[in-house]
Structure 1
Amino acid sequence: MDVGTTSYRPPELMFGNQWYNTSLDMWATGCVVAQVVSLGSQTLFDSGDLGSDLALIKSIFSTLGTPDLEKWPVTKSLPDWGKMAFVQYPSKAWTELLPNASLDAIELVQSLIVYESGDRMKADEVGLIISD
């Protein structure tokens, strides 16, 4: 069963992760915040007209840079990682991705949109930032 909504799905779901926790929601939150602060209707990542996992993976990798084991160590435990070779994309600067956003907003987004799910900001930490 698929979890998450197309363009807001974290990458680990496309590689067979079935261990679900709030880190999935934090990725999606980062995607929503990015969309809001960029003042546009476009999502940060694009899953194409049909909501394709491969299109979403390409969009994520071409935006954040193609990850390796150093950047995303949990991939060694994902059942579908390594079944395909991907183009090695460099990461884009957050200021380029979110040109209309404040530095605080960019900092929030980049702490939520992180390959390694355990490194994503937690909900209670986001609440502390927003209440300041």
Structure 2
Amino acid sequence: MEKRTVNPWKWQDERSYSQAVEVKNVESTLYCSGQAAIDPDGTSSDMDMKSQLEQAIANLEQVISTAGYECSGIVRLNIYTTSTEELWPYFPILQEWIAQHKIQQAVTMLEVNGLFETLKVELEATVVK
């Protein structure tokens, strides 16, 4: 697999994403459903935004590794949140995870009116190898 990021500017570097990611010679692609703070028994979290973000990251990582992929192969990450204002102070948690796995991805963050039950943040990814 060959991956090339396209960044005509530098400002996105501080926000831990790329403007575009080109991928060639892909062996396979994994499309992950949105992962949120849902326990293994299916119970939705009613914890704070920080806790939910950490659990959503852990759940996304588990799906990716269970499928036989690596987080470094994430090329697209969509972030859905019920409050960007509430999420923003915890964005460094996501940035540290991105740096830890050397992820180079295109990102879209959307504030939505609501997520399933008591959820506040959801992460949806496309992963290649």
Q: How does the TM-score come out when normalised to structure 1? A: 0.27
Which has the larger helix fraction? Answer: 1
Q: Which has the higher contact order (CA 8 A, sep 6+)?
A: 2
How high is the TM-score relative to the length of structure 2?
0.28
